[in-house]
Amino acid sequence: MNYRTRLFDLLDVSINQLIFYTQLNHALVLGIPAIIPTGPNSAVYQFSNANGPIDSRGLETNVRIGYEAFKLYAGYSLVDTRRRYTGEEYNSPIPLTAKHRVNLVAVYELEGKFRLGLEAYYNGRKALSTGEYSSPFWLLGIMGERRWKHFSIFANLENIGNIRQDRYSPVVLPPVVQPSFREVWAPLEGFVANGSLKLLLN
């Protein structure tokens, strides 16, 4: 569903609302490890078709507000995914899928001259295959571009809050000679900065 209007003869507003339901039958899932008595590593993981469906339902709302050279984009998604096949996981959420997500982007642009953007993304807690839940977190970023006649300079700063999963809990578990690893549910690299110089030859 889409709706668009102009408020107070100043603001251009558009709203998009999505409601969805999806059912996946006979999904290929990772089963309980089979035990093979021979060899140093006896556990072997195998895939099989689930004897029940995976349900995914939710909604997504997106709003865009424009005022002269400013634009604001806001979005929210609610996703509830459930396993409906027999076993210990019955009716439990799909691991590593955040139920709540928010995205916010603000842009100021003078066409052909300057552009500045601020972005913020919220990831709600995620179910893990261990039965635990991850911590929620925000990712913040800023990007800018200055243009001249024959060249432009662009800079992009991502994850300026330096959010990393190892700040919440160790990712690599001992012993060092035969480590094990936690599921990845947050960025591993932390803060990232990059930039570029663009030449215009026309």
Whole-angstrom Cα distance, residue 197 to residue 167? 34
pTM, 2 dp: 0.83
The parent domain of residue 149 ranges over: 2-199
**Gap between the Cα atoms of 185 and 95, Å rounded:** 9
Burial class (CB in 10 A: 0-12, 13-18, 19+), 157: middle
Assign residue 154 the CATH number of its domain: 2.40.170.20
23/189 Cα distance (integer angstroms) = 35
Which residues on adjacent β-strands are paired with residue 172? 181
pLDDT, tens digit only, all 202 positions of the chain = 999 999 988 999 999 999 999 999 988 887 655 555 555 555 677 788 888 899 999 999 999 999 999 999 999 999 999 988 877 677 889 899 999 999 999 999 998 899 999 999 999 999 998 889 999 999 999 999 999 988 999 999 999 999 999 999 899 989 888 888 899 999 999 999 999 999 988 7
Which residues pair with residue 121 across a beta bridge? 103, 139
Determine the 3-state secondary structure of 143 from DSSP: strand
Q: Is 142 left (phi over 0), alpha (psi -120 to 50) or beta?
A: beta
What is the model's pLDDT at position 27? 85
Q: Give Cα 51 distance to the centre of its chain.
A: 29
Domain count, the chain: 1
DSSP string computed for 60-116: EEEEEEEETTEEEEEEEEEEEEEE-SSSTTTTPBPTT-BSEEEEEEEEEEETTTEEE
**Triad 67, 72, 73: Cα angle to 5°:** 140
